[in-house]
Structure 1
Amino acid sequence: MKGRDLPSYVHRRKRDGKLLFRKRYGAKITEITMQTQFPASAPIPFALHQERERLLNAPAPVVHGSTFSHVIDRYERSPEFVRLAPRTKADYRKHLSFLDEKIGHLEPKSIERFHVIQWRDTWAKKSPHTANYRLRILKIVMERAIDFGLLPTGGNRAKGVSEVKYEKRERLPWPDELIGAAREAADQRTRLLFELLLGTGQRIGDVLKMKWSDYDGEAISVRQAKTKTNLWIPAPQMLLQALANAPRRSVFILTNHAGTGPWSYRGAADGMMTLRRKIGAEAYDIHALRYTATAELARAGLEDDLIMAITGHKTHKMVQLYAGAARQKARARVANAAREQNKDRT
């Protein structure tokens, strides 16, 4: 049987007649000796096609090397990484790619604590926030190097290295006047996105996945990608109106222009940025609308458990972070009113 008669990705090595599966993974061509072997003169057995299909659909094989790059490769294929929420996975991959490019050629055992500190300080010159995130990813990969037998237990030299301290810019809720301006200036699709973000208090990734089947005419059902929490969120009046006016061009509430799938994160972010620039709201980003929703609930005098029933926050600490300023203002007003009332009595 001639080599060209073999299925694609399968070829017969000339020197010994072995059948190999050959495929390009990224920049590398990998060859795997097939379990199904038969003489060149024999017809192709069905088992060869079955094995070929299995190899085509299998994850790219991982070469078990000893460099930091190999550890990253194995970590990205691990169940732990696969189970991460899509947005978290995307964030991790950005930093993993950076580390792979810069230090992928090193062996984990050659990385010392002073190296990690030097890298952290260099990264922090550009962005302390990025430096801290990258440090966390480095610690994770070094732990995986221990799991893969490339470092001894306790050999993670990044562990214990402190993050850079810096003054974080506080994220502020949208002011009422800018909320009103956004509603006036937004086009229909961006207005619907705005109302979904504000009305449900959910992260943009979860909002973009919402389908019309999740909406029962009163509330929207959400499964949060980050927390895996299932929520049933009653829609406030402004959101109900926006949903009633929205065309149903797709199974997704927020659809792309072709109506074939959800609005992309990049497209939605660009739409919101255009609106923010139009009304002078550059200082108030998309995630600030989640803060705004939490703040509105806090101003209504609701306790943490009721707020968490809407926002899906998992801890009281997070509710206090999001609602702290609004709750303090509301309580200060009550306290001041009580003080003035007491003065009148005296």
Structure 2
Amino acid sequence: MKRDLPAYVYRRKGGLLYYERRGSKSQRIYSEPGTPEFAIEYAKILNSVSSIPERRSFTELVASYRKSQRFKRLAPRTVKDYEKILSWVLEKLGPLPADKLQRKDVIRARDTNSETVRFANYIVQVLRVLMEHAIDEGWRDDNPAKGVSLLQSTRAPREAWPAEMLVKFRKAAPDRALLVFELCVGTGQRIGDVLRMRWDDIEGDGVNVRQGKTGARLWVPFTPQLRAVLDKTPRLGLTICAWGSAGKVTSYRSAAGLVMDVRKKIGAEAYDLHGLRYTAAAELAAMGCSDELIMAVTGHKTRAMVAKYAGPARQKARAKQVQIEREQNTPRT
């Protein structure tokens, strides 16, 4: 069917007329087609009197986002995670128009990277944020990444370390591995935060922590096991886990390697460093601590995350209590 409007002129919802052409700013036309006023407006646009080229590529969008308060408010750990996806966006989508992204494109990007579920889901999440920024900047009116579902991981859920594995690790671990282990399970913090802990962060019988992922500030008391290990640990550098005569900072790779050596030795390959954070929450839950008390130690922001970490241990503790009460109330024959 032949269009009844000149080239690049479209009527939007509500009957409003706009001149829309890739590489040019979308412009409102106030006169109706067929009138002298319309001819004048249209001629001015075609002659570039009022046409202002716009940059709407993903390259420009990422650059704009990095300068925004939305980006500057992110915690350092989140910035690190986001930058991996922003680099992917620049490589794969850089010169393409950000205002033309559609929902199907977001789904295609997710599914193309589905072999790595976490990365695929992060693509959706970061594109969602970028599109919100595009709306803020007036580049578009909708967010095509909003509502796109995340992939479900087929990997077995992470579990807390069983009590017997904790005992075996403590017996088998050399000093440096034991220090990393006790800091993780004793404070309930992520390994990145543990490795950044400094001797001058210690206050009284606890340690001050600023979480890299959330920015939360906490003071976490030491467990007896952690205090005993710290008392025997020489101060080799600024950080508690420093090593060597120069007091070098222990890297994540090095810490993971130290712990893995012991895990292999005791048959605990199924339980990793982050599982020790689960372990701390599970131990507190088994003691009957409330969500608020567990959050005060681990720094979790939501009850949902506490339930994820502490739920199994809490269910087990409650089940045991029910069985005890059941036995006590069973009539004797």
TM-score when scaled to structure 2? 0.77
TM-score when scaled to structure 1? 0.74
Cα distance in 2 for residues equivalent to 1:216 and 1:142: 44
Cα distance in 2 for residues equivalent to 1:341 and 1:202: 39
Shifted more, 181-190 versus 317-326: the winner is 181-190
1:316–1:159: structure 2 CA closer, same or farther, 3 Å change rule? closer
Name the residue aligned to 1:144: 133
Name the residue aligned to 1:32: none
Corresponding residue to 1:130 among 103, 110, 119: 119
Aligned 1:41-120 pairs, distance under 5 A = 65-120=55-110
Corresponding residue to 2:233 among 216, 226, 246: 246
Name the residue aligned to 1:337: 324
Shifted more, 129-138 versus 177-186: the winner is 177-186
Name the residue aligned to 2:16: none
Aligned 1:82-231 pairs, distance under 5 A = 82-124=72-114, 126-149=115-138, 151-154=139-142, 156-167=143-154, 169-231=156-218
| Preserved CA contact (<8 Å) 1:256 1:264 | no
Q: Percent identity?
A: 48
RMSD after superposition: 2.1
The letter for the 1-side match of 2:324 is A
Secondary structure of 2:208's match?
strand
Secondary structure of 2:289's match?
coil
1:200 CA displacement: 0.7
Deviations 1:277-330 (A, max 9, x none): 333222212111011001111111222222222222222222222111001011
Aligned 1:231-310 pairs, distance under 5 A = 231-257=218-244, 259-310=246-297
Cα distance in 1 for residues equivalent to 2:70 and 2:254: 29
1:116 CA displacement: 1.8
The letter for the 2-side match of 1:127 is T
1:230–1:165: structure 2 CA closer, same or farther, 3 Å change rule? closer
The letter for the 2-side match of 1:136 is Q
1:75 CA displacement: 1.9
Cα distance in 2 for residues equivalent to 1:239 and 1:259: 24
| Preserved CA contact (<8 Å) 1:173 1:288 | yes
Cα distance in 1 for residues equivalent to 2:79 and 2:243: 23
Name the residue aligned to 1:28: none
Cα distance in 2 for residues equivalent to 1:76 and 1:275: 42
| Preserved CA contact (<8 Å) 2:236 2:244 | no
Cα distance in 1 for residues equivalent to 2:202 and 2:299: 17
Deviations 1:207-258 (A, max 9, x none): 1121111223521122223333332222111101110010101121111435
1:78 CA displacement: 3.0
Secondary structure of 1:343's match?
coil
The letter for the 2-side match of 1:139 is R
The letter for the 2-side match of 1:152 is R
1:261 CA displacement: 5.0
1:181–1:65: structure 2 CA closer, same or farther, 3 Å change rule? farther
Gaps of 5+ in 2: 1-53
| Preserved CA contact (<8 Å) 1:223 1:231 | yes
